[in-house]
Amino acid sequence: MRILLVEDNPKQLEPLQTALTQAGHLVDGIQDGETAQWLLSHKDYDLLILDWMLPKVSGVALCQQYRQSGKTAPVLMLTAKDNTLDKVTSLDAGADDYVVKPADIIELLARVRALGRRSPLWTGDTIRVADLQLHLTTLKAERGAKDTQLAVREFHLLEYFLRHPQQILSRPQLEQALWECGTEPESNVLTTLVRRLRQRLQHIEADDWIETIYGMGYRLVPKASQN
């Protein structure tokens, strides 16, 4: 999943970002609410993890603004506030879950998985579209009796395609989804990545699922198995 992690304490931000990244997620980790506001107005995320007490704009205010904008990705509030009124305030602001700091990283990862499974595409740690399954923990794509191992960036690209089937995805949209905030890939990197993913998908006879829409971008179109 693409995750926005906002935590003003770098001693807590860094281990959380590392753990989430090692769990297979793409993470934009930042330290203030104002930068988070800007990112949320320019990028789409699958999950938000917001510290309550942030410089400039609080996590609760960010959550309220996010919900008022009509966006629906799950929000996990991270805070040292632990009384009932604080939890009610957080949930009423639009948060879906609440973790008291200092956060246990194993518990936090479990809650992230649970929130990710709210998507109808996910079953356990697997995302499924038609007869193709993508496994979050092993980075394998599976179709029928065949499977193929993906590199991390290939996995994230296929995951994004599977989350947006039948949609034309522009090159800037894909680059924003796949590269960390502040990173700008070279012009041919995405083309090379799509070619590599298609080569991987040949092993499960799904390379023709990714169509090139000239002048516009790419589109994933699930195809029926020939078997």
Instruction: Say yes or no: 104 and 133 in one domain.
Output: no
Find all residues with CB under 8 Å of 74, minimum gap 6, and list them: 46, 47, 48, 96, 97, 115, 116, 118
Instruction: Say yes or no: 191 and 215 in one domain.
Output: yes
CATH of residue 160's domain is 1.10.10.10
227 within a domain of the structure (yes/no): no
3-state DSSP assignment of residue 177:
helix
Instruction: Say yes or no: 153 and 134 in one domain.
Output: yes
Instruction: Say yes or no: 28 and 133 in one domain.
Output: no
Q: Which of 52-56, 80-84, 213-217 has the lowest mean pLDDT?
A: 80-84
* Beta strand 2-6 pairing with 132-135: unpaired
CATH of residue 17's domain is 3.40.50.2300
Tell me: pLDDT of 71 over 90: no
Q: Give the Cα-Cα-Cα angle 106, 109, 115 (nearest 5 degrees).
A: 145
Last residue of a domain, one of 85, 116, 147: 116
Secondary structure of the chain: what % helix, strand, coil (to 5)? Answer: 40, 25, 35
Structure token digits, residue 223: 């195809």
**Residues forming a β-bridge with 168:** 219
Tell me: pLDDT of 128 over 90: no
pLDDT mean over 145-154: 94
Residues of the chain above pLDDT 70, percent? 96
226 within a domain of the structure (yes/no): no
Domain span holding position 187: 122-220
Structure token digits, residue 161: 């395609």
pLDDT mean over 86-100: 87
Total structural domains in the chain?
2
Last residue of a domain, one of 116, 145, 162: 116
CB 19, CB 109: distance < 8 Å: yes
Last residue of a domain, one of 62, 83, 116: 116
pLDDT mean over 178-186: 78
Instruction: Say yes or no: 100 and 140 in one domain.
Output: no
Instruction: Say yes or no: 67 and 29 in one domain.
Output: yes
Instruction: Say yes or no: 81 and 129 in one domain.
Output: no
Instruction: Say yes or no: 16 and 50 in one domain.
Output: yes
- What pLDDT, in 10s, does the model give residues 4-19? 999 999 999 999 999 9
225 within a domain of the structure (yes/no): no
Instruction: Say yes or no: 6 and 112 in one domain.
Output: yes
More confident call, 44 vs 197: 197
Indicate the helix (H) or strand (E) that contains 212.
Answer: strand 210-213
Q: Is the dihedral of CA 95, 101, 107, 112 positive or negative?
A: positive
Instruction: Say yes or no: 163 and 106 in one domain.
Output: no
pLDDT at 79: 85
